[in-house]
Amino acid sequence: MQVEYMELMAPAPGHSVRLQVLRFGQPGQGPKAYIQAALHADEVPAMLAALELKKLLLQAESSNELLGEVVLVPYANPLGLSQHLHGQHHGRFALNDGMNFNRGYPELAPAVLEQVRTLVSADAQANQRIIRTALKEAADKLGATSSVQDLKRRLLQLAIDADIVLDLHCDSDAVMHLYSMTAHAGIAQELGAQLGAHAVLLASESGDSPFDEACSRPWLDLQRQLIPQSGSQSIPLACFAATVELRGEADVSHTLAQQDALALMNFLRLRGLASAQAVQEKQALCDPTPLSGSEPITAPCAGVIVFHRQSGERVSAGDAIADIVNPDTGDVLTLHCKSAGVMYARCSTRWAHAGKRLAKIAGTSLARTGKLLSP
């Protein structure tokens, strides 16, 4: 294992911020996987799982089982780790400008399109090398004018040339679920099966350019632009990326972290990053569903939240999900779902403001448009 520390742009004189990067295996020999934890710094289960994964990767490396390169960032947001306001940790948004740490990543396909247009051919492997090199060069040229921009560009530079990108998060109160690109439904289901996911949510573009899509969607965008001139199927979707939600923010234990790390390691083995002897494919707990079919249950007014359903329960269209109780009048407003599916997440607090997203249901009957993720 090689340990690297990347110095980030200092937020102020006298301050130093650095990003720890762990490298396993040999670069350029076999596929590359990039895994980071807690980009939303207050979503802490991922950090513990990453440390357990580090142990498994060390074991695989010492046993000469690694067949590729794995880059692991155990805490992907040192800026957010330091953000506290009145005793509360705030790691989802940058306090200086309110920007989400997992939104607004540079979209690199337009930056490389004209460069690769004249170079691609009907040779898929050659095209993969050409495009991957161009994306890496474009990422390396990115500039930054703030610490947050610097963090985002550094993370993208580490991941943009990977075959597999896993961004480890958690939700508020949730069961295991993940997000990925529609074209990678099969691989996403394989990952979900290893993890025991209750929902696998797919979209070609979810909106606001989250980290995983900044890595995987350039290949889809370039495929759409270039295949007509270069030949059918000659532009591969060469990066599988997923946002993995490791249950809820309070689901922190050594047992769960070890379980999740083993599932991630087994997935890497099945994808050719390490010897796959004795690794068994698992039965998926769910079929992938469109992210556009995910139904957010939103509070229309302020009040006390009383849930009728737990995370992980299956619901039918019309079921009562939560009550909003007006503390002034005692009136109760019951919110019902429109979709059948699994309620895979709900908020962990019990006070609603108007517009607060209370719960999320993985269904198939809706067809939402626009920005599909929460802010």
Query: Can you give the CATH number for the domain in which 337 is found?
Result: 2.40.50.100
β-strands 357-362, 341-346 pairing: antiparallel
Tell me what pLDDT residue 233 has.
62
Tell me what pLDDT residue 140 has.
98
Q: State the Cα–Cα distance between residues 165 and 32, nearest whole angstrom.
A: 9
| pLDDT tens, position by position, 134-191 | 999 999 999 999 999 999 999 999 999 999 999 999 999 999 999 999 999 999 999 9
pTM beyond 0.85 = yes
Residue 275 and residue 338 in one domain: no
Instruction: Please give the residue that has the higher pLDDT: either 307 or 230.
Output: 307
Burial class (CB in 10 A: 0-12, 13-18, 19+), 211: buried
Residue 66 and residue 206 in one domain: yes
pLDDT value at 223 more than 70: yes
pLDDT band (50, 70, 90) for residue 231? low
Residue 279 and residue 296 in one domain: no
Residue 67 and residue 180 in one domain: yes
Tell me what pLDDT residue 278 has.
82
What one-character DSSP code corresponds to residue 231?
-
Residue 237 and residue 296 in one domain: no
Tell me what pLDDT residue 232 has.
46
Q: Which domain holds residue 333?
A: 291-362
Q: Is position 373 within any domain?
A: no
- Percent of the chain's residues with pLDDT above 90: 93
| pLDDT tens, position by position, 262-294 | 999 999 999 999 999 889 889 999 999 999 999
Q: Is position 276 within any domain?
A: yes
Q: State the Cα–Cα distance between residues 239 and 213, nearest whole angstrom.
A: 10
Reported in sequence order, the residue ranges of 253-319 that DSSP labels E, i.e. its strands, are 289-290, 294-298, 303-307, 314-315
| pLDDT tens, position by position, 39-63 | 999 999 999 999 999 999 999 999 9
Tally of structural domains, the chain: 2
- Name 2's bridge partners: 23
Among residues 256, 276, 251, 281, the alpha carbon closest in space to that of 189 is found at: 281
